[in-house]
Structure 1
Amino acid sequence: MYDAVADPYCYPGTAVLKNLLDIRDQATLDQYEAEVTAARAEQPFPSGKLDTVHYCRFHHHLFQDVFEWAGRYRTVRIAKGENYFCYPEYIAVQMNRLFSDLRRSNFFQGQSATKFADTGGHFLAELNSIHPFREGNGRAQLAFFAHLADHAGRPLQLKRLDPDVFMTAMIASFLGDEAPLTEVIADLL
């Protein structure tokens, strides 16, 4: 669970996110969210230009049945432990910078597997540090990155993904060490 101050996304006096079904129990919400996002992940994702709008459409696609704000940048500061993600007032600027860099790199097309793992790892690390949404960043990141990998001619073998290893690598990248994330991506190619 994220730490947030004065969080209008949550029901008063709780850490449960307001949701379309008005579920007030965290365990029930977690189960519902997992089920519907898994079902949405099996459907075709929206097409787009691999830009910030397209990325927001991915998040909306996954979470449209759960949260009214699906696909919209968060407006509160959030952290995991004592590590804060990008402050909301800078999200748009940082997302535009990151996706402009992605466009300038020609969306990683034509890169060797090693180069793709390296640049892809950096992209994911940066995207994770921005954490533009109040919830669901990891699932949106992975879904979008898999789409980006397909577009770059480097499809990921997601069935080989170990969620615990991936999470550990994402945390390491947030703390400044992108090598484990690069290794995970290389193993998925």
Structure 2
Amino acid sequence: MDKYGVGQDAYCYAGTSVLRNRLGIHDDDELCRAERDFSELAASEIEFSLPPYDLAYLKQIHRSLFRDVYDWAGELRVLDISKGQTRFCNLSRIEPEAGKVFARMANRQWFEGHDRGALVAAVAESFGDLNMIHPFREGNGRAQRILFEHLLLNAGFQIDWWQVEPDAWVEANIAAVVCDYSALERIFHQSLGLSAIK
């Protein structure tokens, strides 16, 4: 079983949990390192854009991050996935549910003009809800973090992801599955700083 609990699937090399990749890597650890290196380099080249944002924008970020690693970069997954006890959005509901999250953010004016407290609460809820959709087979977290960097920069804030403890981050996202956003709120509160741009 791979980390998403789907067992053997068309995304993986036969008889393994290693995702088929453009690099010809057949080892999980090696692929993980290559994925990290390629996506970090690609992330530095992704340019900020003003809203509106939507699922197509998130797909574009994902494609930019992983186009050198996966043929399906930027494409919605075609199977249902889960991690531990968390079952992510049914693939038939990815687009409509993502549409709801983006519409809610648009109705909140992309968080522009929010004071810090309101911003933290709104961002935590939106992040947690979008994470539950998990639209891609792999790389959801990295693509989503860049999307939220853009959202926050547009709202006059920046975020320092390096301040986030990995275990606390995982636990906060798990709590958000049952709409408990308090741990995500604490993380965003600690990690947000005012942007020099606004």
Contact preservation (8 Å) 1:146, 1:156: yes
Within 5 A, what are the aligned runs for 1:7-26? 7-26=9-28
- Structure 1's unaligned 5+ residue stretches are none
- Of 46, 57, 62, 2:65 maps to 62
Corresponding residue for residue 27 of structure 1: 29
Corresponding residue for residue 82 of structure 1: 85
Distance 1:6 1:28 in 2: 19
Q: Which deviations, in whole Å up to 9, do the C-alpha atoms of 1:113-141 show, x marking residues without a partner?
A: 11111000000000110000000111111
Distance 1:6 1:26 in 2: 14
The two structures have a TM-score, normalised by structure 1, of: 0.94
Amino acid at match of 1:144: L
Within 5 A, what are the aligned runs for 1:44-59? 44-45=46-47, 47=49, 49-59=52-62
Within 5 A, what are the aligned runs for 1:36-185? 36-45=38-47, 47=49, 49-185=52-188
Contact preservation (8 Å) 2:8, 2:14: no
Tell me by how many angstroms 1:5 deviates. Answer: 5.0
Contact preservation (8 Å) 1:47, 1:54: no
What is the number of residues matched between the two proteins?
Answer: 189
- What is the aligned-residue identity percentage? 33
CA pair 160-80 structure 1, distance change in 2 beyond 3 A? same
Tell me by how many angstroms 1:51 deviates. Answer: 1.4
Distance 1:46 1:5 in 2: 37
Q: What is the DSSP-based 3-state SS (H/G/I as helix, E as strand, rest coil) of the residue aligned with 2:159?
A: coil
Contact preservation (8 Å) 2:61, 2:146: yes
CA pair 24-102 structure 1, distance change in 2 beyond 3 A? same
Q: What is the DSSP-based 3-state SS (H/G/I as helix, E as strand, rest coil) of the residue aligned with 1:10?
A: coil
RMSD across aligned positions (CA)? 1.5
Moved more, 163-172 or 118-127: 163-172
Dislocated runs of 4+, deviation >6 Å: none
Amino acid at match of 1:75: V
Tell me by how many angstroms 1:162 deviates. Answer: 2.5
Tell me by how many angstroms 1:161 deviates. Answer: 2.6
Amino acid at match of 1:31: R
Contact preservation (8 Å) 1:45, 1:58: no
The two structures have a TM-score, normalised by structure 2, of: 0.90
Q: Which deviations, in whole Å up to 9, do the C-alpha atoms of 1:95-129 show, x marking residues without a partner?
A: 11111111111101100111111000000000110
Distance 1:108 1:121 in 2: 12
Amino acid at match of 1:55: L
Tell me by how many angstroms 1:46 deviates. Answer: 6.1
CA pair 127-187 structure 1, distance change in 2 beyond 3 A? same
Contact preservation (8 Å) 2:54, 2:102: yes
Tell me by how many angstroms 1:158 deviates. Answer: 2.9
Distance 1:42 1:94 in 2: 29
